[in-house]
């Protein structure tokens, strides 16, 4: 079976890093016999300029008919003043919701070679490799009722933290599956001591756990989890949590690694169809200058191989190639320190492909 992938390069540095991901896909197809084909489509500000829509119908249709989507990044100052629905970021949100991508996987990986980039002591973070699984389509960001209204002569703001048991169960199962592919340890983060909806979260996680006797499930309250992430991040392997807690904890975990140009992410539906993208944005300040770090994008390809294409061996090979170029001392500007060799976007991509090819 040939895997069909939609490539959405997007805006700013998106097309530059996608170019390097495409070189990796070509190498996987030509040297490793990976059955994969791809097609480009427009999204974001560039799509708005041509089609008056940041998510044109043809793009959505192509994404829906694919096995996976690779996204560069969208947005930039040219489109900041548009009405909200026309803004590049709205196109992206619509795409995630149209594809029903409810499970957001955000790894925080710190290659030992880059431990100096972290704000934490290097022995605390060197070799860090944890995964946060965040519920992405429910919880307080979507709950009704919500709003600001006048009550008793003052304004009142309110939101609703609501989870259905089926929503908790499906993110729970996704997280247990991820933990099964890693070291079989899962920590569920909630605030069950104060919030009834997250007591239900904990209860459902315990029920789902019965189907995964090989995975060790633990629980932490979110305040303790935040503290533990900073105190001893390497104690974690996989963390599963609600939309809002995951939003906050995954940014904190990303910053433990200190290098935004290095981190990929995945958003999956119930059938492991997914959208894979770097966590960084379109970086307009460095766009078009061959300065962007393509390694987050390339590692997004590795995640796609693992989670949507069931090609764990090829995923390992891509990750090993990235580790190899770092061991060889190559660094883009964002992660560069002396005495390492500073390279541009294209040179970094070429080096990863050379390392991958030598492993073929
Ligand atoms: P950003 O991630 O684009 O950039 C933040 C800083 O990190 C900048 O200094 C940038 O140069 C640097 N950086 C980012 N990626 C890098 C890489 N691969 N290599 C080297 N340096 C890198 O965040 P921002 O500046 O807040 O946002 C810029 C635009 O991107 C905005 O329009 C924003 O809405 C959009 N955005 C899009 C996404 C997405 O497409 N998923 C995510 C975040 C922000």
Closest of 211, 291, 240 to residue 12, by C-alpha: 291
Answer whether 177's CB lies under 8 Å from 193's CB. no
265 lines ligand 1 (CB under 6 A): no
Quickly state the pLDDT bin for 255 (edges 50, 70, 90): confident
Which is catalytic among the residues 30, 49, 116, 223?
Answer: 223
The pLDDT of residue 116 is 81
Q: What letter does residue 73 receive in the DSSP assignment?
A: E
Active site residue 191: yes
Active site residue 203: no
- For residue 360, pLDDT over 80 is answered with yes
Nearest CA to ligand 1 atom 43: 281
Name the segment(s) of the chain with CATH classification 3.40.718.10: 1-102+287-360, 119-257
Closest of 276, 289, 333 to residue 72, by C-alpha: 276
CATH 3.40.718.10 fits 119-257, yes or no: yes
> Token digits for 236?
């974690």
Among 81, 86, 281, 342, residue to substitute to test ligand 1 (most atoms within 8 Å of Cβ):
281
Q: Looking at ligand 1, which atom is closest to the CA of residue 334? A: 20
Quickly state the pLDDT bin for 82 (edges 50, 70, 90): very high
The pLDDT of residue 119 is 83
- For residue 244, pLDDT over 90 is answered with yes
267 alpha carbon – ligand 1 mean position (Å)? 19
Give burial (CB, 10 Å; 0-12/13-18/19+) of 163.
buried
- For residue 251, pLDDT over 90 is answered with no
Report helix, strand or coil for 279. coil
> Token digits for 349?
């991509």
280 alpha carbon – ligand 1 mean position (Å)? 5
Out of 1.10.3210.10, 3.40.718.10, 1.10.3210.50, 1.10.3720.10, which CATH number does the structure's domain 1-102+287-360 have? 3.40.718.10
Nearest CA to ligand 1 atom 40: 73
Query: pLDDT tens for residues 166-207?
Result: 999 999 999 999 999 899 999 999 999 999 999 999 999 999
Which is catalytic among the residues 11, 23, 191, 212?
Answer: 191
Q: What is the mean pLDDT of residues 209-226?
A: 98
The pLDDT of residue 323 is 95
- For residue 258, pLDDT over 80 is answered with no
85 alpha carbon – ligand 1 mean position (Å)? 20
Pairwise pLDDT comparison (119 vs 91), residue with the higher score: 91
Closest of 286, 268, 219 to residue 67, by C-alpha: 268
| Residue 177 dihedral angles phi and psi, to the nearest 5° | -65, -40
- For residue 111, pLDDT over 80 is answered with yes
């Amino acid at each position: 079976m040939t895997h069909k992938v939609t490539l959405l390069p997007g805006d700013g540095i998106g097309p530059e890093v996608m170019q390097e991901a495409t070189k990796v896909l070509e190498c996987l197809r030509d040297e490793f016999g990976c059955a994969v084909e791809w097609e480009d489509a427009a999204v974001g500000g560039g799509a708005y300029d041509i089609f008056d829509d940041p998510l044109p119908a043809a793009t959505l249709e192509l994404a829906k008919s694919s096995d996976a989507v690779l996204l560069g990044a969208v947005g930039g100052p040219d489109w900041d003043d548009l009405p909200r629905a026309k803004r590049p970021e709205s196109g992206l949100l619509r795409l995630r919701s149209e594809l029903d991508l409810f499970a957001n996987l955000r790894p925080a990986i710190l290659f030992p070679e880059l431990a100096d980039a972290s704000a934490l002591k290097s022995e605390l973070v060197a070799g860090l490799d944890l995964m946060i699984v965040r519920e992405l389509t429910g919880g307080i960001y979507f709950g009704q009722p919500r709003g600001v209204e006048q009550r008793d002569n003052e304004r009142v703001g309110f939101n609703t933290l609501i989870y259905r048991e089926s929503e908790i169960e499906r993110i729970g199962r996704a997280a247990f599956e991820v933990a099964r592919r890693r070291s079989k340890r899962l920590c569920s983060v909630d605030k069950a001591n104060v919030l009834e909806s997250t007591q239900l979260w904990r209860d459902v996680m315990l029920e789902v756990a019965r189907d995964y006797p090989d995975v060790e499930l633990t629980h932490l309250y979110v305040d303790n989890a935040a503290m533990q992430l900073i105190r001893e991040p390497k104690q974690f392997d996989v963390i599963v949590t609600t939309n809002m807690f995951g939003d906050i904890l995954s940014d904190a975990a990303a910053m433990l690694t200190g290098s935004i140009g290095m981190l990929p992410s995945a958003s999956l539906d119930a059938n492991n169809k997914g959208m894979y993208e770097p966590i960084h944005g379109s970086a307009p300040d460095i766009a078009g200058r061959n300065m962007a770090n393509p390694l987050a994008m390339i590692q997004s390809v590795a995640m796609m191989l693992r989670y949507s294409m069931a090609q764990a061996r090829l995923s390992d090979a891509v990750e090993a190639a990235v580790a190899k170029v770092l061991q060889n001392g190559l660094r883009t500007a964002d992660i560069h320190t002396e005495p390492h060799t500073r390279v541009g976007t294209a040179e970094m991509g070429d080096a990863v492909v050379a390392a991958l090819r030598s492993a073929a």
